[in-house]
Each structure stands twice: as C-alpha cells, then as structure tokens.
Amino acid sequence: MQTSQGVASGGRDRFLDVVRAGAILAVIAQHWIMPVLSYSDGHLATGNALATPGWWVVTWLSQVMPLVFFAGGAANLISFRRADSARQWLAGRIRRLMVPVLPLVAVWLVMPDFLLGLGVPPQPVQVASAIAAQLLWFLAVYVLVVLLTPVMVAAHRRWGLKVPLVMAVAGVLVDVARFNDLGYVGYLNAVFVWVAVHQLGFHYVEGRLGALTRRAALTLSAAGFGTTALMVAFGPYPASMIGMPGAPVSNMSPPTVLLAFLAVGQIGLLLAFRPQLNALAARPGVGGALGWLGARFMSVYLWHMPALVVVAGVTVYGLGYQTPPPGTVFWLVMAPAWFAVCGLTLLGLLRLFAQFETRRDASEATAGVPQLVVAGLMISGGLLGLAAHGFAPLSDGIAGGPLPWVVLATAGFLLAGKQIPATVLGTRLLGRAVAVTERAALRR
C-alpha cells in the first residue's frame, strides 16, 4: 500500500494538522468579519461585509469547507484502517461528533427564554438563536459522510479516482436539474459534492496527491481555479463562494458542483507549499498549538458563533455600537479590536465547554452497524432541523420550536451506544423521546 509522506503508522500527518487548523481559523475569521450590525427600536439590522462590491474574491480562499471535507476524508481513511471493525469505527466517530453538540444544545434550549426574560426584544433573540444553530448543517452532512465512509473506502479500493469523478459528474447533472426549475434536487449535492471532496482525502493518504511535485500541484491548482472562473463567467453560478443577502442563487445552500472545482484549486495550492507547511508545523510551539486546536476542533467550530452573539449583544444591543461601513478606515481600525474581544470570549466559552470534547468516553458502544446507521440518520436529521429552524420557537407549542429536532438527535446519540433488540427498540426510543419532551416543556 502506497502512503503519503508524513502519514506514519501510529503518528500524525503535520500537513493535515495545518490544513485543519488553517481551515477552522479561516472559518472563524470569515464569520467574525462578515457581520454589519446596527440596532434601533427593537430591531437588529444585519448585513454582510463580503457583499461589498469586489470582495467576492476573498471567498475563493476564505470558503474553506472543501478543505475541511478533504482533511476529514484523509483522517477518516487513516483511522478506519486502524480500527478493529467498521462497527467500532462508526460507533466511535458518531459519538465523538455528537458529544460536543450536547452542551451547545443544552445552553441554547434555555437561552431564548432567558434573554426574553431579561427584556431583550423577540427579533434580536430570534437572530441570535438562528446564528447559534446555523453551523450545525456541517455536522448534519458530515455524519452522513461518516456513515458512507465504509462503503466509499470499498469503492475507492476498487475504482480509485473514478469515484470522485463520477460524483462530480453527478453533481453537474444535479445542478442542471436545479437550474431548470427543480430547485430541491440541488440538495442531493450535499452528498455528491462533499463526498467527492472527501474521496480526494483518500488519494492524499495513498500518495497520489501527496507525492505531486510543486509544478504538478500548481498545475492542479490552476486547473481547479480556472475551471471555477470559467463556470462563474459563462454559467449560472454566482462569483461569491458563500451565500449573499438577497442573491437568487447560493453556491453553498445547497452546495453547487462549483465547490468541488474550488476544492481542487485550494488543495493543489496547499500541496504546492506542503514542505513549507510541514516545516512550520515542526517549529517549537506551533506543533503544540496545532495539537491543542485539533483536540478542540468541534468545540471551537460550534462556539465561535455564540461568542460573536455575546460580543454583538453587549456592544451592539447593550452599548449602541454600530458596525462602520466595510472597508473604511474606521472599519479597518475597529476590526482588530472586534476580533480580540470575540477571541477572548471564545476562549472563555472553551474553558467551560471544550472539556466535553477533550474528555475521552470510557464506555464501550455495542450497537450493531444497522442500529448505528439508523442512529446516524436520526442525528443528521435532528441537527439539520436545528440548523434550519434555530433554537428559538417559531410558534406557540412544542411542535413549533427546536424540541422535536433536539429529541430526534438525542435519541440518535443514545441509540449509537448500547445494542438494543429490535423488538424493544421502537418502544424504548419513543419513551425516551416523550420523557425529554415533557421535561423540556415544563422548563419552558
């Protein structure tokens, strides 16, 4: 078996560590720089700084979700090969992904009522609750990718590079249908596009990408970015790689196949400088910082938007601060201070909640593969519902709030633990769901 340089048995790949760390830092930077906020008469006005004319070019590098799925694919293949069985690997991956979500859900189930009780108007509470939940879309999709990983590993072993190519072709066909008045078909690309990028991580591990010379990597990058540019220039795709306010089409929701070509450009660019990135990771202190961040990756991802909510709540709602026009001198002066305050707030939240991710679960999951698949689908559905609806109630009653989605995801998490006989599975899940719903309803 050919392996990529730097992927040692029992060791860590420094390049992947740098990619993961750089990706999460880019996500944070993009999300903290985007908001254009002001508050007046009970209404929080929101805008996007990256909607400034010409700033779309920033998103070609700051939209790093393709890199997250690429690095995830590489890490998943490495860990899958080390696991004793597919069952053990699935159980560990599903539970590890879900555990950091639990404190976020627990806090935000009560936070909307708490804020309303303090006298905060409903509209800002609705905005904050939606922001805190919206990033759960990634976990919902990633859980599906994890469920597919054993199958995709087998497909990779048999067909190799043909797998992501077929996925990309399927993504193109989905986009054709989407842009011809079959809009909901576009959500199939949440699987086709991200699985295609995930498969590229497999090829990195096996050396097909990791062994590229700098010239070959730059050629690959030019092909990826060049194809992206051509599709933007002559196709129906917007230039921005993130969704923009009021735009009729988004490259992210649902994802378009354009992101697969953007991934090729970004991956090739990073591979061209892989030796330098490995040298950076080997410096004293940098490796420790990468390890610290890697151990808290999901917690950092989940809590950086609540950190923004806290800072915006105090400054914009509480102190009447208004974001300066993007690109002005005042905006450039205030941006570092905004980042610093958000960063300190995030560190405080991590001290409280990152322990759920860093603490290793000593319990052994005994659920079988079919049960784990059902559990993963329930988790994915629950998280997707939360991402779409937010944590604030949309109407009176339990059905209009986040509780049904919380119950679905929590039941999936419990199901991913101990093996449950099929004859009692439905009854036990129903009982747990009812109990959770009743307790939450009493708190409300």
pLDDT digits (tens, 9 = 90+) for 166-178: 999 999 999 999 9
**Model pLDDT, residue 384:** 95
The pair of three-digit structure tokens given for residue 253, joined into one six-digit string: 């929701």
User: Confidence class of residue 72 from pLDDT cuts 50, 70 and 90?
Assistant: very high
Neighbouring C-beta atoms of residue 215, cutoff 10 Å = 9
Flag whether pLDDT at 435 surpasses 50: no
> Using CA atoms, how far apart are residues 3 and 32, in angstroms rounded to an integer?
38
> What pLDDT is recorded for position 438?
39
pLDDT of residue 9: 39
Q: For residue 26, is pLDDT > 70?
A: yes
* Closest residue by Cα to residue 405 from 418, 394, 420: 394
Confidence of residue 432 (pLDDT cuts 50, 70, 90): low
Does residue 441 register a pLDDT over 70?
A: no
Task: Give the C-alpha separation, 228 to 263, whole Å.
Answer: 10
Helix 297-312 and helix 329-353: axis angle, to 10°? Answer: 130
> E strand or H helix at 48, and its extent?
strand 43-48
Mean pLDDT (the chain, rounded): 89
Determine which helix (DSSP H) or strand (DSSP E) holds 39, and give its type and residue range. strand 35-40
The string of pLDDT tens digits covering residues 276-285 is: 999 999 998 8
Measured CA to CA, the distance from residue 444 to residue 442 in angstroms comes to 5
Q: Is 38 in contact with 322 (CB distance < 8 Å)? A: yes
In this prediction, residue 165 carries a pLDDT of 96
Q: Minimum mean pLDDT among 33-37, 190-194, 361-365: which range? A: 361-365
Distance CA 89, CA 444 (A): 38
Answer with the residue of higher pLDDT: 232 or 367: 232
pLDDT band at 210 (very low <50, low <70, confident <90, very high): confident
For residue 399, the model assigns a pLDDT of 57
Confidence tier at 242 by pLDDT (50, 70, 90): very high
Rounded to an integer, the average pLDDT of 137-142 is 96
- C-alpha atoms less than 13 angstroms from C-alpha of 259 in its C-beta half-sphere: 34
Q: Is the pLDDT of residue 396 over 60?
A: no
pLDDT attached to residue 443 = 45
What's the token pair of residue 165? Answer: 């190519």
In the chain, the percentage of residues whose pLDDT exceeds 70 is 90
Other C-beta atoms lying within 10 Å of the C-beta of residue 221 = 19
CA–CA separation, 97 and 378 (whole Å): 14
Q: Which residue has the higher pLDDT, 419 or 56?
A: 56
- Give pLDDT, residue 139: 96
pLDDT of residue 183: 80
Q: Is the pLDDT of residue 309 over 70?
A: yes
d(CA 73, CA 313): 37
Task: Return the pLDDT at 365.
Answer: 73
pTM of the model: 0.90
> Which of the 8 DSSP states describes residue 318?
I
Whether 227 has a pLDDT exceeding 90, the answer reads yes
435: β partners: none
